[in-house]
Chain A
């Protein structure tokens, strides 16, 4: 970061450059994830997916994106034009600001603010405004139901997410994601999911609580990105794509991009909170700023793989089950974890 700063010697240019970097990353990452998703889905169903565009269809995501961009941008006559137009951008902005606080490497973090973890939670709920706007502005019953469902889902699942973050904060003593990651540096044993770098007695006692928290955060994160089994806002079979029923072309592509970018964000959050972020799993071996990016992306990618795997395994829950899981299972268990972790840390 300092290197680029001295190279350009212009604060404005540097900020623009640094804030554009994640955009490039998002686009590349979305292409890769799209391809992975289609391939994994196909192989789970004993199919093969794209085979014709390039070697085993590797160029297909690019072709898909180009096709989406060329499509006609249809705006329904009876819709609320202003909201309808701005909604995709708001949703994408919500996703994109979250990248500002993701510690990609020990030297690269968009904005090293002290409230990183909470900023992430807040940015995550910003997306729902875009979705709700889209649902409302489309003037379509399904879209509206999709939007409302999205809001209710987000409200319910923000709480387990925030509680899980609190547990990590209790252990690390910092909300800054860079500090949280540094706290876990030095090998797999130091990851918070295994109790963090504490004396072994404490660590052993913490382990069950952190494991449960980790698992709950993972479940909540799937719900936050609206993926199966929690894909209520779009629910193809019942809501005809929910909030994006009326969207097409470029605007639909924005939603699409935002969804997949969000997928990376939540994986990255889980990784940096519990799995040591950019730090190498083998202590000093293969560690360094560039290896940091590698580890960060690889870990997050593993998580996305698991999410894809879950998506193509489980059917959608019922709406009441969704609420049940959030309020009666995840939240109480997290309270127990908070209590346990607090007691252990105090003693």
Chain B
């Protein structure tokens, strides 16, 4: 193309593109806007969306699986063993509960909503809900405590466990004494100590995995 032709072509072309562009934009003025007026109108969130965690503490057996699975360690679980005379009830999955849970804290500020804690739970009591508006002014308020035990209940449970342990220890000591005394009376020479509970030697199973 000669220079003159290019010059006129450029003018024509720029005018044309301007008109094309302006046609597009004016069309958009009259199309419906895509905005959702958020706080008043809310979008439906997906059915399996991952948002705030919820723990149904009545079903929790305190197995700590969720805390182990969590990649950011934001779940803190403390447990107290129950004594055999106490019945903690069963979960909805018919698992017997054996542990008190004095502390079940989730620091939701650290949570990355990966959902890894949800899958290992044997009783399906830690779940994702559809709540996503839980901003707080104080970060402390984002540590959610799900445990429903009062301080008295916790101390009571601890006391019971200690007492039970003492009793067991006393029983054991008595048994040991009894064991020690009986062989001493029958045979003289080498005193036989009861075989200590040895950990089983690690067995290598080559074809595992």
Contact = CB atoms under 8 A, between A and B. Distances in A.
Contacts of A310: 18, 22
Nearest to B18: A314
Contacts of B33: 42-43, 46-48
A44 B22 CA distance: 10
A48 B34 CA distance: 8
A40 interface: yes
A111 interface: no
B31 A46 contact: yes
Interface in A251-301: none
Contacts of B35: 46-48
A198 interface: no
Q: B25, B31, B33, B35 — which one has the most chain A CB atoms within 10 A of its CB?
A: B25
Interface string B104-122: 0000000000000000000
A313 B21 contact: yes
B25 A309 contact: yes
A86 interface: no
Nearest to A332: B7
A309 B28 CA distance: 11
A46 B34 contact: yes
A329 interface: yes
A44 B37 contact: no
Contacts, number: 37
A310 B7 CA distance: 23
B33 to A, nearest CB: 5
A5 interface: no
A160 B25 CA distance: 28
B22 A313 contact: yes
B71 to A, nearest CB: 37
Interface string A19-54: 000000000000000000000101111111001000
Contacts of A44: 25, 28-29
A108 B21 CA distance: 39
A312 interface: yes
B28 A45 contact: yes
Interface of A: 40, 42-48, 51, 309-310, 312-314, 328-329
Given A44-B25, A48-B33, A328-B7, 4 more contacts: A45-B28, A47-B33, A47-B35, A51-B37
22 contacts: A40-B29, A43-B28, A43-B29, A43-B33, A44-B25, A44-B28, A44-B29, A46-B28, A46-B31, A46-B32, A46-B34, A46-B35, A47-B34, A47-B35, A48-B33, A309-B25, A310-B18, A313-B21, A313-B22, A313-B24, A313-B25, A314-B18
9 closest Cβ contacts across the A-B interface? Answer: A313-B25, A48-B35, A313-B21, A43-B29, A44-B25, A46-B33, A48-B33, A46-B34, A313-B22
